[in-house]
Amino acid sequence: MNYLIYNKKGKILRTVQCPPTMRDKQVRKGEFIMEGTADDVAQKVVGRGKLRRVVDKTSEEIRAEEPSPEISFDERIANINNQQWRDVLNRIQVLEGS
């Protein structure tokens, strides 16, 4: 069987496939489960009890959940302390022969 695991806001956290006897072992604290399949990026769970169902998210909801673009390694900020920076400058001076 296919199950959706979601939180109280209706965000689909994951989908699992397991026998019905293992269904309740898939859920952690603060999570809920229902039978079915869905697209966790484009859909969410609404309603409660027997009235719960999967619906499409609005384009605004999808955009709000989009992760920020990945920053390349070369463009990431490097955190170094002043001593490390002085060591770098000293090495440059030695290489330049100053």
pLDDT tens digits, one per residue of 27-69: 999 999 999 999 999 999 999 888 999 999 999 999 888 887 8
User: Beta 12-17 vs 31-35: how paired, if at all?
Assistant: unpaired
Is-contact 11 44, C-beta < 8 A?
yes
For the segment 76-95, the average pLDDT, to the nearest whole number, is 92
pLDDT of residue 98: 64
Total count of domains within the chain: 1
Whether the predicted pLDDT of 10 surpasses 70: yes
Q: Sheet with 12-17: list strands edge to edge.
A: 12-17, 2-7, 31-35
**DSSP string for residues in 39-56:** -TTTEEEESSGGG-EEEE
pLDDT for 18-27, tens place per residue? 999 999 999 9
Structural domain span for residue 31: 2-96
By the 10 Å C-beta count (0-12 exposed, 13-18 middle, 19+ buried), 44 is classed as buried
Give the SS3 label for residue 65.
helix
